[in-house]
A and B are shown apart, each in its own frame.
Chain A
Amino acid sequence: MAQEAHGALHDLLAVRGVSRRDFLKYCGSVAAAIGLSETMAPQVAAALEGAPKLLPALWINGGSCTGCTESIAQVDSPDVATIVLDYLSFEYFETIMAAAGTWAEENITKRVAEGGYIVIYEGSVMTGQDGNTLFVGGGPNNEGAKKGIDILKEVASNAVAVIAVGSCAVDGGWVMAHPNPAKATGVAAFLQKEGITTPVVSMPTCPVNPEWVVAMVVQLLLVADRDPAKFLELTQWVKYTYHDGVTDQDVTLTLPKGIYGQSIHDNCPRRGHFENGEFVTELGSKEEAMGYCLYKVGCKGPQTYTQCPVTRWNRSASWCVNSGAPCIGCGGLNWVDNNAPFLKRLSDIQFDGFLGMGNTQPGHIGAAVGGAVAVGLVAHGLGMKAAGRIGDGPPMEEMKAYDRKRMAKKGGDK
Chain B
Amino acid sequence: MARTVVDPVTRIEGHLRVEVEVTNGKVSDAWVSGTLWRGMELVLQDRNPEDAFWVSQRICGVCPISHSHASAQSTESALGITIPNNARIIRNLIEAAQFLHSHILWFYTLAALDYVNPVNALSANIADTYALAQAAGTRIADFGAVATRLKGFVENGQLSIFTGHEGWFGVGAEKHPGYVLPPELDLIATAHYLEALELQAVAAEIIAVMSGKFPHHMTSIPGGTAFVPTEQKLDDILFRFTRVKEFIDTALIPDTLAIAPYILGAASFGGGCGNFLSWGVFEAEDFDPYKRYLPRGFIQTSKGLTAEKVEATDVNEYVTHSWYSSPSGLNPAEGKTEPAWEPYSTDGKYSWGKAARCKDLPAEVGPLSRMLVGYVNGVKPVKDIVDFALGKLSAAAGATLEPTVLVSLLGRVAARNLEAAVVAGWAIEWVNELIAAIKGGDSSYFVTERAEAGKGVGLWEAPRGSVGHWMTVENGRIANYQVVAPTTWDISPRDEKGVPGPMEQALIGAPVVDATRPLEVMQVAHSFDP
Which A residues have a C-beta under 8 Å from some C-beta of B?
1, 4-5, 7-8, 11-12, 15, 53-54, 56, 61, 63-71, 73-74, 79-81, 84-86, 88-107, 124, 126, 128-130, 132-142, 145, 148, 173-175, 177-182, 184, 206-207, 282-286, 288-289, 297, 313-315, 317-326, 328, 330, 336, 340-344, 348, 358-359
Q: How far is the CA of A325 from the CA of B340 in the complex (A)?
A: 38
Binds A, one of B38-46, B255-263, B403-411: B38-46
**What B residues does A340 contact at CB under 8 A?**
47-48, 51, 55
Using A96-B11, A98-B161, A140-B19 as known contacts, say yes or no to A283 and B226 having CB atoms under 8 A apart: yes
Query: CB distance A8 to B228 under 8 Å?
Result: no
Query: CB distance B35 to A136 under 8 Å?
Result: yes
User: Is B267 an interface position by the 8 A CB rule?
Assistant: no
Distance from A327 Cβ to chain B, minimum over Cβ atoms (Å):
9
Q: How far is the CA of A96 from the CA of B163 in the complex (A)?
A: 11
**What A residues does B19 contact at CB under 8 A?**
140-141
Q: How far is the CA of A179 from the CA of B200 in the complex (A)?
A: 36
Contact among B35, B109, B160 with A54 in the assembled complex (CB-CB below 8 Å): B160
Q: Mark B11-52, 1 if CB is under 8 A from A, else 0.
A: 111110101000000000000000111111011011110110
**What A residues does B4 contact at CB under 8 A?**
140
Q: How far is the CA of A340 from the CA of B208 in the complex (A)?
A: 22
**What B residues does A348 contact at CB under 8 A?**
47
**What A residues does B51 contact at CB under 8 A?**
340-342
Query: CB distance A133 to B149 under 8 Å?
Result: no
**What B residues does A282 contact at CB under 8 A?**
446, 448
Query: CB distance B61 to A207 under 8 Å?
Result: yes
User: Is B159 an interface position by the 8 A CB rule?
Assistant: yes
Query: CB distance B156 to A181 under 8 Å?
Result: no
Using A7-B152, A174-B55, A286-B443 as known contacts, say yes or no to A358 and B46 having CB atoms under 8 A apart: yes
Query: CB distance A103 to B160 under 8 Å?
Result: no
Distance from B246 Cβ to chain A, minimum over Cβ atoms (Å):
17
Give the interface residue-count category, chain B. 35 or more
Contact among A63, A134, A284 with B446 in the assembled complex (CB-CB below 8 Å): A284
**What B residues does A320 contact at CB under 8 A?**
212-213, 218
Using A74-B204, A314-B213 as known contacts, say yes or no to A97 and B43 having CB atoms under 8 A apart: no
Contact among B167, B200, B209 with A73 in the assembled complex (CB-CB below 8 Å): B200
Using A91-B163, A98-B162 as known contacts, say yes or no to A8 and B152 having CB atoms under 8 A apart: yes
Binds A, one of B124-132, B341-349, B413-421, B464-472: B341-349
Distance from A304 Cβ to chain B, minimum over Cβ atoms (Å):
14
Query: CB distance B62 to A70 under 8 Å?
Result: yes
Query: CB distance B149 to A12 under 8 Å?
Result: yes
User: Is B371 an interface position by the 8 A CB rule?
Assistant: no
Query: CB distance B47 to A289 under 8 Å?
Result: no
Q: Mark B325-349, 1 if CB is under 8 A from A, else 0.
A: 0000000000000011101111000
Query: CB distance A56 to B161 under 8 Å?
Result: no
Q: How far is the CA of A109 from the CA of B335 in the complex (A)?
A: 41
Q: How far is the CA of A173 from the CA of B218 in the complex (A)?
A: 17
Q: How far is the CA of A208 from the CA of B216 in the complex (A)?
A: 11
Within 8 A of A (CB), among B142-165: 142, 145, 148-149, 152-153, 155-165
Query: CB distance A106 to B164 under 8 Å?
Result: yes
**What A residues does B155 contact at CB under 8 A?**
4
Distance from B219 Cβ to chain A, minimum over Cβ atoms (Å):
5
Query: CB distance A138 to B7 under 8 Å?
Result: yes
**What A residues does B228 contact at CB under 8 A?**
284-286, 288-289, 324
7 residue pairs bridging A and B, Cβ less than 8 Å apart:
A11-B148, A97-B165, A100-B10, A103-B164, A126-B37, A134-B15, A207-B215
Using A134-B36, A323-B212 as known contacts, say yes or no to A98 and B165 having CB atoms under 8 A apart: yes
Query: CB distance A336 to B55 under 8 Å?
Result: yes
Query: CB distance A67 to B64 under 8 Å?
Result: yes
Query: CB distance B339 to A324 under 8 Å?
Result: no
Using A61-B15, A141-B346, A289-B230 as known contacts, say yes or no to A319 and B213 having CB atoms under 8 A apart: yes
User: Is B201 an interface position by the 8 A CB rule?
Assistant: yes
**What A residues does B84 contact at CB under 8 A?**
284
Within 8 A of A (CB), among B462-482: 477
Using A65-B14, A342-B51 as known contacts, say yes or no to A318 and B216 having CB atoms under 8 A apart: no
Query: CB distance B8 to A138 under 8 Å?
Result: no
**What A residues does B162 contact at CB under 8 A?**
97-99
Query: CB distance A11 to B158 under 8 Å?
Result: no
Query: CB distance A66 to B13 under 8 Å?
Result: yes
Query: CB distance A70 to B219 under 8 Å?
Result: no
Query: CB distance B15 to A136 under 8 Å?
Result: yes
Query: CB distance B58 to A174 under 8 Å?
Result: yes
Query: CB distance A103 to B165 under 8 Å?
Result: yes
**What B residues does A92 contact at CB under 8 A?**
163
Distance from A368 Cβ to chain B, minimum over Cβ atoms (Å):
15
Contact among B17, B194, B214 with A314 in the assembled complex (CB-CB below 8 Å): B214
Q: How far is the CA of A78 from the CA of B449 in the complex (A)?
A: 46
Query: CB distance A133 to B109 under 8 Å?
Result: no
A88 nearest CB neighbor, chain B only: B160
**What B residues does A283 contact at CB under 8 A?**
221, 223-226, 445-446, 448
User: Is B6 an interface position by the 8 A CB rule?
Assistant: yes
Query: CB distance B344 to A64 under 8 Å?
Result: no
Query: CB distance B212 to A319 under 8 Å?
Result: yes
Q: How far is the CA of A278 from the CA of B163 in the complex (A)?
A: 55
A135 nearest CB neighbor, chain B only: B35
Query: CB distance A206 to B209 under 8 Å?
Result: no
Query: CB distance A11 to B224 under 8 Å?
Result: no
User: Is B368 an interface position by the 8 A CB rule?
Assistant: no
Query: CB distance A325 to B211 under 8 Å?
Result: yes
Contact among A103, A104, A343 with B50 in the assembled complex (CB-CB below 8 Å): A343
**What A residues does B215 contact at CB under 8 A?**
65, 67, 70-71, 207
A97 nearest CB neighbor, chain B only: B161
Q: How far is the CA of A8 from the CA of B200 in the complex (A)?
A: 23
Contact among B35, B42, B145 with A179 in the assembled complex (CB-CB below 8 Å): B42
B519 nearest CB neighbor, chain A only: A100
Query: CB distance B477 to A97 under 8 Å?
Result: no
Query: CB distance A359 to B43 under 8 Å?
Result: no
**What B residues does A93 contact at CB under 8 A?**
161
Q: How far is the CA of A86 from the CA of B148 in the complex (A)?
A: 13
Q: How far is the CA of A132 from the CA of B204 in the complex (A)?
A: 34
Query: CB distance B156 to A288 under 8 Å?
Result: no
User: Is B282 an interface position by the 8 A CB rule?
Assistant: no
Query: CB distance A124 to B38 under 8 Å?
Result: yes
User: Is B197 an interface position by the 8 A CB rule?
Assistant: yes
Contact among B54, B158, B168, B350 with A56 in the assembled complex (CB-CB below 8 Å): B158
A207 nearest CB neighbor, chain B only: B215
Query: CB distance A73 to B201 under 8 Å?
Result: yes
User: Is B307 an interface position by the 8 A CB rule?
Assistant: no
**What B residues does A12 contact at CB under 8 A?**
149
Contact among A66, A140, A177 with B43 in the assembled complex (CB-CB below 8 Å): A177
Using A95-B11, A137-B7, A174-B43 as known contacts, say yes or no to A65 and B58 having CB atoms under 8 A apart: yes
**What B residues does A328 contact at CB under 8 A?**
54, 218
Distance from A251 Cβ to chain B, minimum over Cβ atoms (Å):
21
Q: How far is the CA of A180 from the CA of B48 in the complex (A)?
A: 17
Query: CB distance B212 to A134 under 8 Å?
Result: no
6 tightest Cβ-Cβ pairs between the two chains A and B:
A67-B61, A284-B446, A284-B445, A181-B39, A325-B218, A314-B208
